[in-house]
Structure 1
Amino acid sequence: MRVAFLGLGIMGFPMAGHLASKGGHEVTVYNRTVAKAQAWVARFGGTSATTPAAAAAGQDMIFCCVGNDDDLRQVTTGPEGAFAAMAPDAIFVDHTTASAEVARELFAAARQGGFHFIDAPVSGGQAGAENGRLTVMCGGEAAAYDRAEPVIAAYAQKCQRLGEAGAGQLTKMVNQICIAGLVQGLSEALHFAEKAGLDVEQVVATISKGAAQSWQMENRHKTMAEGKFDFGFAVDWMRKDLGICLAESRRNGATLPVTALVDQFYGDVQAMGGRRWDTSSLIARLRR
């Protein structure tokens, strides 16, 4: 297929690469920093475009992974945005972690323009993107999803439609709420083990075979114990995501006391200079 990818950050760069190398699609890329788009083309082939509209013109499917609601509006409905150039019946797949509100807004704009919009945030982090093992949570029309899912499979181990427009973003909020509580619990547990004089590696090797096991424990306990946080999903991004969760909870009436507390703890980490540290750096504030 002829596809475009807008946004070549730590997630988008390898995801677009899988579309070209594994999916075998003809890929046009766009990135605000032109050098990054040029680097992608040098590595994977394809072409680069100077605007989102130029990238989207004539494509069967357009993928996007940018920073937040405002970034997403800029590359879709903003000046030289992709929506102005979308072909009839084309599909726009948005992998940005954004609000359900903007997903519904852009779904409506796409319908009015005669094309389709799927909100499809991802989980799995940089490693998942690089290894083509992401989990993709989708909202939108079933027929459009059925067309997009085989293409998304180039970088996904799991892809699921959860409902109408916005359902993908709401599911990503559930995912981030779970992670926030898990990482704080793991941080406190490892901190407690250290203070108790236990061998952290032996403790984790034991309890990870029981009910306490989690992806975070298996993949982050070692670097947390070593105080290494220069990788993975940044604290700034997590605070953005938790802000979206808390704003949505105010709309739907959900009570999120632990999430609100962990969000404040991440604020402490930011104040410690850890804005770009991995989310597992919550343990650092316990060691101050």
Structure 2
Amino acid sequence: MAGQVGFIGIGIMGLPMAKNLVTKAGKKLVVWNRSQERIALLQGELADEAAQVEAAESPEAVVKACDVTFVMLTTPSVVRSVLFDMPGAAIHGVSSGKMIIDCSTITEEDSRASYDAVKTAGGSFLEAPVSGSKVPAETGALIFLAGGDKDVFDEVVKQKMFDVMGKKSIFLGGIGAGARMKLAVNMVMGSMISALAEGIVLCESNELDPAEFLEVLDLGAMANPMFKMKGPNMVQSKRQYTVNFPLEHQQKDMRFALQMGDSSATPMPVAAAANELFKAARAAGYDREDMSAVIEALRKRNE
């Protein structure tokens, strides 16, 4: 693992993560992305270190060239395509000694399928979905929630690759534990931003200054970085939803968390209501906006 590292998926999260591996860990990367423009963007941001990034022709070529490959993709269907189904899929490059670290947020069932396939091919697999969005990815402040092969986790920790991309990495147990924890965390996040949206709209509808509402929240026990960062841009006078975490992906995670609740007979009334609000925002055309645009589903009802 002292040599080059693979990275598949140079999107909103993958680009800053890959960049940190180069600038902070001095890694040479072999990368693949469905859109070559994203690889060029990464190389452009690296400037003098652009030569540290080599574009591969397929996911298979990435895995063949590297002992360890990180994967950061958007949905279970995309993960299945890139790892198994497309021509030149990553699984065809897996052999003894190859390590796959999937940082995508997917279901436990999909993660187990990836684990089984990689193990059958002779490799090792670690799920390591991250808590954090674009800004934490840029600043190297992600939290890695890992499950699967402990030896892979230990080796990546030893090489300090989690350290340059995040502020904490936690090994939670066997395969599926990381996926379950990530969905629980994102379920709470979606419920919180929905509650904040309701509070802002309630103030706007009752002759209260939402900026003062946000100030009161920030001064008390409910203060948190997400409210402070997203709240000011959600008010009626701003309505700016610069994408850090797309709304469609937040709703996907709410849906998967609710499915997890169904399978364990866990009551989740608050998350279920929040999910309905996200669905309404998607129906109103806010899929590709930041998740904080969920507030627009409430405003649409008040129009």
TM-score (ref. length: structure 2): 0.89
The farther-off stretch of 49-58 and 81-90 is 81-90
Quote the residue 2:219 is aligned against: 209
Amino acid at match of 1:32: R
The answer on whether the counterparts of 1:176 and 1:242 sit within 8 Å (CA) in structure 2 is: yes
Quote the residue 1:7 is aligned against: 9
Quote the residue 2:177 is aligned against: 167
Quote the residue 1:69 is aligned against: 76
The farther-off stretch of 261-270 and 22-31 is 261-270
Quote the residue 2:42 is aligned against: 40
Q: Alpha-carbon deviation of 1:266? A: 1.2
* Whole-Å separation in 2 of the counterparts to 1:77 and 1:207: 47
Q: Alpha-carbon deviation of 1:152? A: 1.9
Amino acid at match of 1:119: E
Residue 58 (structure 2) pairs with residue 51 (structure 1) = yes
* Whole-Å separation in 2 of the counterparts to 1:20 and 1:137: 22
Quote the residue 2:189 is aligned against: 179
* Whole-Å separation in 1 of the counterparts to 2:249 and 2:127: 18
* Whole-Å separation in 1 of the counterparts to 2:60 and 2:180: 28
The answer on whether the counterparts of 2:200 and 2:213 sit within 8 Å (CA) in structure 1 is: no
The answer on whether the counterparts of 2:248 and 2:287 sit within 8 Å (CA) in structure 1 is: yes
State the Cα deviation string for residues 32-67 of structure 1 (Å, max 9, x = none). Answer: 112322333343332110100111113121001112
Q: Which runs of 5+ in 2 are unaligned?
A: none
Quote the residue 1:274 is aligned against: 286
Secondary structure of the residue that 2:15 maps to in structure 1?
helix
Compared CA separation, residues 53 and 171, structure 1 to 2 (3 A): same
Quote the residue 1:237 is aligned against: 249
Quote the residue 2:299 is aligned against: 287
* Whole-Å separation in 1 of the counterparts to 2:192 and 2:207: 23
Aligned Cα RMSD in Å? 1.7
Percent identical among aligned pairs is 26
Q: Alpha-carbon deviation of 1:269? A: 1.1
Quote the residue 1:125 is aligned against: 133
The answer on whether the counterparts of 1:238 and 1:279 sit within 8 Å (CA) in structure 2 is: yes
The farther-off stretch of 269-278 and 11-20 is 269-278
Equivalent residue pairs, number: 288
Amino acid at match of 2:64: A
* Whole-Å separation in 1 of the counterparts to 2:166 and 2:265: 32
* Whole-Å separation in 2 of the counterparts to 1:143 and 1:253: 33
State the Cα deviation string for residues 94-139 of structure 1 (Å, max 9, x = none). Answer: 0111111111111122222222111111121111112221111111
The answer on whether the counterparts of 2:30 and 2:65 sit within 8 Å (CA) in structure 1 is: no
Instruction: Give the alignment partner of residue 261 of structure 1, picking from 273, 277, 286.
Output: 273
Instruction: Give the alignment partner of residue 112 of structure 1, picking from 110, 114, 120.
Output: 120
**What does residue range 216-227 of structure 1 map to in structure 2 within 5 Å?**
216-225=226-235, 226-227=238-239
**What does residue range 87-166 of structure 1 map to in structure 2 within 5 Å?**
87-149=95-157, 150-166=160-176
Q: Following TM superposition, where does structure 1 have runs of at least 4 consecutive aligned residues deviating by more than 6 angstroms?
A: none
The answer on whether the counterparts of 1:94 and 1:119 sit within 8 Å (CA) in structure 2 is: yes
Amino acid at match of 2:62: A
Secondary structure of the residue that 1:165 maps to in structure 2?
coil
Secondary structure of the residue that 2:12 maps to in structure 1?
coil
* Whole-Å separation in 2 of the counterparts to 1:39 and 1:275: 24
Q: Alpha-carbon deviation of 1:87? A: 4.2
Q: Which runs of 5+ in 1 are unaligned?
A: none
The answer on whether the counterparts of 2:95 and 2:121 sit within 8 Å (CA) in structure 1 is: no
The answer on whether the counterparts of 1:60 and 1:87 sit within 8 Å (CA) in structure 2 is: no
Secondary structure of the residue that 1:88 maps to in structure 2?
coil
The answer on whether the counterparts of 1:265 and 1:282 sit within 8 Å (CA) in structure 2 is: yes
Q: Alpha-carbon deviation of 1:206? A: 2.8
Q: Alpha-carbon deviation of 1:183? A: 0.9
